Amino acid sequence: MPPDHNLDDYVDAPGAHRHGGPLRVGLGGPVGSGKTALAAALCRTLGEEFDLAVVTNDIYTTEDADFLRRNAVLPDDRIEAVQTGCCPHTAIRDDITANLDAVELLEARHPGLELVFVESGGDNLTASFSYGLIDVQIFVLDVAGGDKVPRKGGPGVTAADLLVVNKTDLAPMVGADLDVMRRDSAAVRGGKPTLLISLRDEPTAAAVADWVREQIRVRVPA
């Protein structure tokens, strides 16, 4: 190591090592909470406005990608699947190499790209994205997982830039109290937003799409 080596040169703010390029939005959350359905909804709703693409981190490579092809009207060259070697949280947080490769590949393939969704494999409540990979992250819970989940917290719930509680239409069936979920989320999230949605009742995910639009708008240009 050279003697004039200055650590400050290599320590930077989250994401500061890259400039410009599309807004990268992480989509995390437990298995079955509706990450892929939300990604597909956002692609449909925002696809006309923005040049966008998706990276999937499914356990079995092609499942989510196939779903997106069918449901998000995305051509194959806008979907990249990443293998995570049994460790979905590692691939989005500890060693983001494969995901960076996929995002950079999409950026190179589509030079006008404005928005990339990185959908994590289903994981637990502690899984969150590294800000070396994404700019903002959405954590997706569902009502059927139990109304106690927001209270349990964990980095996914507490630190995500947006918490989405999906499948509100199921609340009466599973005995979940939406007010409890709303209140507990607010309590553990220090003012960061939470949206309760039902993709079944409102398949455009308009509220989440609005939030994404706002992230693109407020983003400091390179």
Contact window for other proteins (CB under 8 A) among 25-33, 97-105, 137-145, 173-181: 97-105
| Least Å from the CB of residue 7 to other proteins | 11
Question: Applying CB under 8 A, does 97 fall inside the site for other proteins?
Answer: yes
Residue 112's φ and ψ, nearest 5 degrees, are -95, 10
| Least Å from the CB of residue 92 to other proteins | 12
Which candidate, 30, 27, 37, 89, places its Cα nearest to that of 68?
A: 37
The CA distance from 135 to 25, in Å, is 6
Contact window for other proteins (CB under 8 A) among 23-31, 72-80, 84-92, 179-187: 84-92
| Least Å from the CB of residue 95 to other proteins | 4
Question: Applying CB under 8 A, does 59 fall inside the site for other proteins?
Answer: yes
Q: Which is nearer to other proteins, 104 or 179 (CB)?
A: 104
Question: Applying CB under 8 A, does 83 fall inside the site for other proteins?
Answer: yes
| Least Å from the CB of residue 32 to other proteins | 19
- Gyration radius (Cα) of the chain, Å: 17
Q: Which of 18, 71, 90, 114 binds other proteins (CB under 8 A)?
A: 90
Contact window for other proteins (CB under 8 A) among 48-56, 77-85, 142-150, 166-174: 77-85
| Least Å from the CB of residue 143 to other proteins | 30
Tokens of 114: 């404005």
| Least Å from the CB of residue 205 to other proteins | 28
With beta carbons less than 8 A apart as the criterion, state whether 130 and 99 touch: no
According to CB under 8 A, which residues from 17 to 36 bind other proteins?
17
The CA distance from 148 to 154, in Å, is 12
Question: Applying CB under 8 A, does 134 fall inside the site for other proteins?
Answer: no
Percent helix, strand, coil in the chain, to 5, is 40, 15, 45
According to CB under 8 A, which residues from 1 to 20 bind other proteins?
1, 10, 17
* 67-80 b/e (C-beta count within 10 Å ≥ 16 → b): bbbebbebeeebbb
Side-by-side strand order, sheet with 162-166: 79-81, 52-56, 115-119, 23-28, 136-142, 162-166, 194-196
Tokens of 169: 């239409």
Chain residues binding other proteins by CB under 8 A are 1, 10, 17, 59-62, 82-87, 90-91, 94-98, 100-101
